[in-house]
Amino acid sequence: MDKVHVNRLEKFKDILLVVLVFTTILLLYFLWGSKSLESFIFSDDNEHYTVLSSEQVIFPDQIILGKGNGDYIIVTSEKENLWKGQILENFRNMSQDANILVEEITAEKYKAAMSYPSIIAKFAYNMPFNEFCDKYQIKQQQGYDSINDLTEIGFSKGSKESAFIFDGNKKRYYRLVGNKELNIFDQVESLFTQQNLTTYFPLRTFLGEKSTNDTLVPVENSSAMASLTYQKDSQISQKEITEDTAQDYFGGTFDFVRKVEESNGTIIYMYGYGQKVLIINPNEGSIEYKEEIKTNDSEQKNMFECLDTALAFVGSHGDFQTAAGQEIKPYLESASSIDDKKNAYRFVFSFSVGKNKLFYEDKMPIIIEVTGGQVSYFRRELVNFDENQLQKKSGEQGISAINMLAMNYNYILAKTNLLDKLDSQEISFEDTADRIDDLFTGYFRPSVKLSGDENTSGDNQLELIPVWVVEVNGMYLYFDLYDGQPKGYSKAY
């Protein structure tokens, strides 16, 4: 019996050895092969994160209601309800009709239609129209394929049976004519009569007859926006948090990952020969991840599928919240294809401070690139601030938009290279203002440059500044909301 027992024990050892060898081979295949690091996350720590869907972050940058008298209001609190419950629903219902006529129209006809009582949803980016229709269950009619991208969609009382679309990529306008009148205006009429809503006029109203600029400008600055102190997301400098953060990207093992600590405190984790790199910078409060993608192996994904991939990645790597646990209200600032590839997209997220957008002078809070079905680049740099500060009311009267522009038009000329684009060197205020692409209020975070022995001890002095944001020639310029002084500038994404 003892001999039989020994033989069984030896056989069991042989089987166990074979299993271990095969397990080792499979593990090495996944580690050293072309699999993404996302394929083998071993930790369960991310289960509590909520992954947003693309529908939860795709909203119009502005919803504009035209009263029909040359004045407008920009919707804030009712934006989500108007987008989902009115604009999308009306367009979806309209597209169920048969024999919809799609015709390309001129910019003049588009503007003429919107001079009637109207509603326009404007996006800060272009969305492939056929993908947009598929995403929102909109039946595609004959002629829809002639529209490449959707940047604006609007409705006008001047043509109650029609929808109007602007393709910002091709600079083309379209009218889609249905079979019956739409009831969208009956349902939003009450918004026109609400009190305490700021009235906007086109910039050309203030610049004279020669101007054609339809950028909307508020009649007066009624916003009481206070500066907010903030702190960088510096908890990532704590060793145990840094290690946990790295494990979120590389899994529960570091057997094949090298770690480099630089003199300035930056920590670099590297897999292989730079195929996958994670950079943690405590001074900036930033995290940056890069991964080489084999394009031959990439799946074909559309913009919305790439966006869902990006959101899943964000959700499993910190979510839209800081290391200190403060949740932010994200919005999609930019969505653009990379090198004109149809399955590679760059998404830029910022977040709202109250009802206003936040802009960084250098980079933006979250930047993520997706090629096929895989994340190739990711950067996050969030800030912590107390939203209770928004309850403060400033007693100062803000400078009007027109006065701010008049004060700074030479600065705008110098920073946006407009002099290189215009024939005359004698450029007037009107010439400069006529080339403004957008103008609105927001919050601005200037760059924080640390040198020498400076550290995070001064974080409490950092401020988010209320500003006028002026978009010109692919640049954002920021001016103090109260005294109009320049505060900085950045490239528009």
Token pair belonging to 280? 């943690």
Rounded to whole angstroms, the Cα distance separating 275 from 291 reads 6
Rounded average pLDDT over 383-387: 86
Token pair belonging to 371? 């090629």
Confidence of residue 242 (pLDDT cuts 50, 70, 90): low
Rounded to whole angstroms, the Cα distance separating 22 from 405 reads 70
Contact of 348 with 279, CB cutoff 8 Å? no
For 403-450, write each residue's pLDDT tens digit.
Answer: 999 999 989 988 887 666 555 566 788 888 888 999 999 999 998 765
Nearest to 399 by CA among 151, 223, 193: 223
Burial profile 201-211: b = 16 or more Cβ within 10 angstroms, e = fewer: bbbbbbbeeeb
For 248-284, write each residue's pLDDT tens digit.
Answer: 777 655 666 788 888 888 889 887 777 889 998 888 8
Most confident of 237-251, 428-442, 457-471, 474-488: 474-488
Contact of 350 with 71, CB cutoff 8 Å? no
Give, in degrees to the nearest 5, the angle at Cα 118 between 113 and 123.
95
Are β-strands 72-75 and 62-66 bridged in parallel, bridged antiparallel, or unpaired? antiparallel
Mean pLDDT of the chain: 82
Rounded average pLDDT over 196-212: 86
pLDDT higher for 196 or 300? Answer: 300
DSSP state, residue 69: S
- Per-residue pLDDT for 324 more than 70? yes
Cα dihedral sign, 262-266-271-275? negative
Number of neighbours of residue 101 by Cβ within 10 angstroms: 14
Residue with tokens 């972050």: 57
Residue with tokens 């869902």: 308
- Per-residue pLDDT for 233 more than 60? yes
Which residue type does 199 have?
Answer: T
For 84-132, write each residue's pLDDT tens digit.
Answer: 989 999 999 999 988 899 999 999 999 999 999 999 999 999 999 999 9
Print the SS3 string covering 339-400: CCCCCEEEEEEEEEECCEEEEECCCCCEEEEEECCEEEEEEECCEEECHHHHHCCCCCCCCC
Cα dihedral sign, 465-466-470-473? positive
Rounded to whole angstroms, the Cα distance separating 301 from 338 reads 13
User: What is this structure's pTM?
Assistant: 0.84
Percent of the chain surpassing pLDDT 90:
44
Rounded to whole angstroms, the Cα distance separating 261 from 123 reads 42
Q: What is the pLDDT of residue 58?
A: 93
Contact of 282 with 237, CB cutoff 8 Å? yes
Give, in degrees to the nearest 5, the angle at Cα 488 between 484 and 489.
115
Q: What is the pLDDT of residue 284?
A: 85
Q: Residue 474, CB half-sphere, CA atoms under 13 Å: how many?
A: 2
Altogether, the residues listed in the chain come to a count of: 493
